[in-house]
Amino acid sequence: MKLFTGLIFCSLALGVSSQWYAFFGEAAQGAWDMMRAYSDMREANYKNSDKYFHARGNYDAAQRGPGGVWAAEKISDARENLQRVTDLFKYGDSGHGVEDSKADQAANEWGRSGRDPNHFRPPGLPDKY
C-alpha cells in the first residue's frame, strides 16, 4: 500500500512539474513571437499596419498555449502602459494617444482570442508579413 501511495504521489508530482515546465516554455516562445511581430512591424514600416502586427503577435503567442497567452497579455499591457507614461511626459495630461491605445488593446485581445489577425491587415502589405 505504501508503494502504491508513493507511486501515485510521484506521478502526480511529476505531472504537475511537467505542466509548469511547459507553461514557461510556452511563455518564452510567446515572448519571442511578440518580439518577431514587433521586428516585422519596424521592418515593414507600412502605413496603418500597427493593429495588424499587434493582432498577429498576440495570435502567434496564443497559439503556443496558456503560457503564450500569459506572455502576450503581459507584454501587450506593459507596452501600452509604457506608451501612456511617455505620452504623459511628452504631451501632458491631454489624453493624447488614449484612443490609439484602446484600439491597440482591442487588436491585442482579438489576436489572443484566436481570431484571424488578417482582419486588421492593411491593403497592399507585402505577403512576407
- For the stretch 7-49, pLDDT in tens is 565 555 555 556 778 999 999 999 999 999 999 999 999 999 9
Radius of gyration of the chain measured on its C-alpha atoms: 19
pLDDT > 80? residue 104: yes
The residue with greater pLDDT, 115 or 15, is: 115
Residue 9 domain-assigned (yes or no): yes
Looking at the structure of the chain, the number of domains it has is: 1
Q: Residue 128: inside a domain, yes or no?
A: no
Q: In 3D, which of 70, 67, 61 has the Cα closest to residue 26? A: 67
The domain in which residue 47 lies consists of 1-120
**Cα–Cα distance for residue pair 54/38, rounded to 1 Å:** 8
C-alpha cell at 40: 516585422
- The answer to whether residue 87 scores a pLDDT higher than 70 is yes
Is residue 129 a part of any domain in this protein? no
| CATH code, domain carrying 85 | 1.10.132.110
Question: Over pLDDT 70: what percentage of the chain?
Answer: 83
| Residue 125 included in any domain | no
Write down the pTM of the prediction.
0.81
